[in-house]
Chain A
Amino acid sequence: MVIIAMKKLCLISTIVCLALLIIAMPLAGCAPKPEAQPTKVLKVGMMTPTTGAAAEKGRVMGHANLDAIQYINTELGGISGHPVEVLWLDSAYDAAKVVTIVKRFMDEGCLLFTTASSKEMSAAMEIANEVGFPGIACFSSPVLYRPPKHIYGQTPDYGDDALAFANFYLKNIWKGKSGKPKFALHLLNNPTGYGARDAFRAKADEMGIEIVSIDEHAATTTSEIESLTRIKAKKPDVLFISSTPAPTAVIIKNAYELGMYPGVTIGCAHASFTKALIDIAGPKIVEGVYGTFPTVLWGEDVPGMAKMTEYCKKLHPEDYGNMDYITSWAQSLIVAEILRLAVKNAGYDALAKGDAKSWQIVETQGFHKLKNYDVEGLQGPVSYTPGDNRLTKYNRIYQIVNGEIASPSKWMEAPLVEYEKYEWFGK
C-alpha cells in the first residue's frame, strides 16, 4: 500500500511538474505587452534569411541592418532619445518560420517589421495586412503591395527596373532612330523575372516598344544557347535580363559566343547587376552591359558613406564592397526615420504598447509623413505617395566599364504602374 501511495505521489508530482513546464515555457516568451518596452525603447522586428538558400545575401543584409541600428543607438543617441531595440530573427528563407516570426514580432510589441527578400514578405504579408502590422521589404515585387495595404517597398521593384532601363534606352541610345525598338526578355522563372515581364506587358505599347520574345530560365541554368539562338533570329535591339548574377552571366556569355553581343544592347535588373556578375562572366565579356540599381556605389561621395564604411570595416570587413550591405544599412536608416516622425507627431506614449493602435499610428504618422528623406545619400530620396507603397521611386542606370560598375546616370524616377487594374496581374 505504501509503495502504491508513493508511486501515485510520484506520478502526480511528475504530471504537475510537466504541466507547469509546458505552461511556463510559452509564458516565458510572451511577457505582458505593457512591459515589452520597460526602458522606453522603440522596438522593431527584423528578419533576414541568414541561413538557408539565400544565406549569401541574407547574412550580409542582417549584418548591415544591425550595424546601422548600433550606429543609430550609439552615435545618434537613438531616436528622439529612445534607443531602438531590434528583435532580429533568422528566417532561414523558410515560409513556415516566417509565419511564426511575424506573429512573434506582433506579440512582442514591435512597431513595424522588415524583411530582406520578397519571398519572406510573400509569406508574411497576408497575416500582417489582416491586422494592419506595417512592414518594409528590402527587395520587392509588385505583388507585395499592389493593391497597396500595409506592406511597403524600400527600393523600386523589379518592374520599375525594367521601365527605368527602357526609358533610359529610349532617351539615350535609341534616340533619333525610327520605328519601335525590339526588346527580347530573358527572365528568371520567379517574381524577380515576372516583375519585369508584368511591367513590359503593361507599358510596352505606351512606351513604343515591341517585345519580340519572352524567354524564361531557371536559377540553375548552365546554357541558354538554344533560347538565344531563337532570340537572335528575331534580331532584337535590346536583350533585357531580370535574374540573379549566375544565370545572367550564363546568358551574357552565351550571347557573346553566338556573336549577338557586342551588337545588341544588354540591360539587367538590379538582382542581376552586382560585382558577382563581373566575377562570374569575366570583365571582357560583360564590358558595356547596362544595369539598374537602387543604391549608390561603395566609395561614392555621399554624406552617409564614411560612417557606413567605418562600421562595415570595423564590424564586418568581409562585407565591404557588397552592395547588399548598402541596401540594408539604408533600410535601417529608413526605419529610424519612420519612427522619428511617429514619435515627433504622436509622442512616445502613443507607441509604447506596440499594439494595433500603435501600428496604425506608426503608419499614419510615420510612413505616411515621409517626404524627401535623403537616406544620407545612399539611395534615392524616400517619400510616401498615397496609393503608392513604394517608398523609393528612384533607380540609377550603371554600365560596366573597364571591368567595373561605373558611369551612373542621374536618379531616374520610375512611374507608378497600377498593376491591379490589369486582369492578368497575379494570375
Chain B
Amino acid sequence: MDLPCGTRNFDYASDMAVLRTRTHWLLFFLLLILVFTAPLYWSNYWLSVANLIGITIIAITGLNILIGYCGQLSIGHAGFMAAGAYTTAVLTGKLGLPFIASLLCSGLSAGLIGIVFGLPSVRVKGFYLAITTIAAQFIIIWVINHWTSVTGGFVGIKVPPATIAGFSFNSEPRQFYLIMAITAITIFFAKNLARGRVGRAFIAVRDNDLAAEVMGINLTYHKLLAFFIGCFLAGIAGALFAHWSRFLNAENFTLADSILYIGMVIIGGLGTTIGPILGAVLIRLLQQGIMYISPVLEGAFPALPAGFTTGLGPMVFGLVIILFLILEPRGIAHRWALFKAAYRLWPFSY
C-alpha cells in the first residue's frame, strides 16, 4: 500500500490497518462529525437524498464484489433487491418479525436466490451469464406481481418503519443514522473481503479462471460465493429501501435500475472499494441537481414554453457516461488514486 513520501510502516499490523496515517484518522473523525451532526443542518429532503445514496452504495458494493472483483456479470441486481425488499415487507408487516431478524432474512433470501441464478456461472460467462441474470430480473418481478396473497401483486404492499427494541426509525434523521451505520459496516466488510483470501481468489477468478483453477481455487465455490455475497448486500439494500420508502411495488425495481447500477459501478471504478461510493454519490447527486436546476431554468426563461427542461436529465446522463467511457474508463476511483499518488509524492514528481 502506498504511504506518504518519506514514511514507512514498522510492523505488519500498521501495514494492514485501514486507517494508517494521522491524516486518515483526521479525515475519519471529520467524516464522523459530519455524519453525526448532519441532521442538525440538513433538511429532511437532503437527508432523504443521503439515505438514498447510502442504500445505493450498499447495493452497488454488492454488485462491485460480483462484477468488479469476481468478474461475474449481473444485470438482475434490482431483482435481487426486490427479493430482499419484499422479504422484509412480509416479515415485518405481516408476520411482525423484529427488524434486525427480517433484515438478515432479506439478505439471506436474496443471497440464496442469487446462488440459484448464479449456478449457470459455473458453465457460462460474459454475455451468456448476463442473459441468465436478466432472467432473474424478470422471474423475480413476475413472481412478486403474481404472488398476490403475499406480495400484494401489482397493487403493492405497505411497509412499517424499522423498529429496534421499541425505537422506531420513523423520521428521516433516524433513518439516516440507521442507513449510514449499515453503509459503513458494508464498506468495511467489502474492504476487508477484497484484501483477504476470498477477495484474492475472486480477483484470480476474474483475471483468468483457468489459471485460478490450476492454482487450486475452487471455481464453483467462489463464483457462487460471489453471487451470494453480492445478492446478500442487494437484499439488505432492498430491505432498507422498503423501510425508507414505506410502500413497495414491483415497478420500483426495474431492469433500467439494474442497468443504472452497473453504470454507477463503472463510473465509480470497478474492483475498488471506493468506486461504488463515488459512483453512487455522483449519479444520485446529478439526478438531484438536474431536478433542482430544471425549475430554476423554467423560471429564468419564462418566454420559453413550460416544460422545456424535460430533456435535460437524459442528455446529461448520456453525456456523463460518454465522457467517462472516453476520458476515464477506469472510473473516478482511478482519478482519485492518481490524485492520492501525486499528493503522497509531492513535491517530487517521481
Contacts and interface: CB of A to CB of B under 8 A. Distances in A.
The finding on whether chains A and B are genuine partners in a shared complex, rather than unrelated, reads yes
Give chain A's interface residue range (CB within 8 Å of chain B). 35 or more
B306 A70 contact: yes
Interface in B244-284: 244-247, 249, 251-252, 254
B96 interface: no
A298 interface: no
A92 B148 contact: no
A22 B30 CA distance: 12
A29 B43 contact: yes
A108 interface: yes
A19 B34 contact: yes
A7 B23 CA distance: 11
Contacts of B347: 3
A7 B41 contact: no
Interface stretch (A187-195, A221-229, A264-272, A371-379): A187-195
Contacts of B245: 95-96, 99, 123, 126-127
Contact of B288 (A53, A86, A100, A126): A100
**Best-surrounded residue of A22, A100, A143, A194 (most CB of chain B within 10 A):** A100
B155 interface: yes
A332 to B, nearest CB: 11
Given A26-B41, A189-B145, A62 B307 contact: yes
A15 B310 contact: no
B10 to A, nearest CB: 19
Interface string B1-27: 000000000000000000000010011
A119 B249 contact: yes
Nearest to B146: A189
Contacts of A51: 310-311, 313-314
Nearest to A91: B291
Contact of B42 (A30, A63, A190, A427): A30
A212 interface: no
B148 A427 contact: yes
B154 interface: yes
Contact of A62 (B23, B43, B152, B310): B310
Given A96-B252, A103-B172, A122-B249, A315 B42 contact: no
A43 B26 CA distance: 43
Contacts of A15: 26-27, 30
A418 interface: no
Contact of A30 (B30, B46, B298): B46
A103 B246 contact: no
Nearest to A106: B44
Interface in A83-124: 86-90, 92, 95-97, 99-101, 103-104, 106-108, 119, 122-123
A389 interface: no
B163 interface: no
B241 A96 contact: yes
B108 interface: no
B23 A11 contact: yes
B346 A7 contact: yes
Interface in B151-201: 152-156, 158-159, 170, 172
Interface string B52-85: 1000000000000000000000000000000000
A29 B45 contact: yes
B339 to A, nearest CB: 10
A303 interface: no
A232 interface: no
B49 interface: yes
A282 B42 CA distance: 55
Nearest to B148: A427
B247 A122 contact: yes
B44 A92 contact: no
A89 B45 contact: no
A110 to B, nearest CB: 11
B139 to A, nearest CB: 15
A253 interface: no
Contacts of A190: 154
A66 interface: yes
Contacts of B27: 15
Nearest to B253: A95
**Best-surrounded residue of A66, A70, A104, A194 (most CB of chain B within 10 A):** A104
Contact of A26 (B43, B298, B306): B43
A97 B287 contact: yes
B310 A67 contact: no
Contacts of B252: 95-96, 123
Given A15-B30, A23-B41, 15 more contacts: A23-B34, A25-B46, A30-B45, A50-B307, A88-B295, A90-B310, A99-B48, A103-B44, A119-B249, A127-B245, A191-B155, A194-B153, A194-B154, A316-B306, A316-B307
Q: Which 4 A-B residue pairings sit nearest by Cβ, starting from the closest?
A: A30-B43, A26-B46, A66-B306, A126-B246
18 contacts: A19-B34, A26-B43, A29-B45, A30-B43, A30-B46, A51-B314, A62-B306, A63-B305, A66-B298, A86-B295, A88-B294, A95-B247, A96-B52, A96-B245, A103-B44, A130-B170, A427-B148, A427-B152
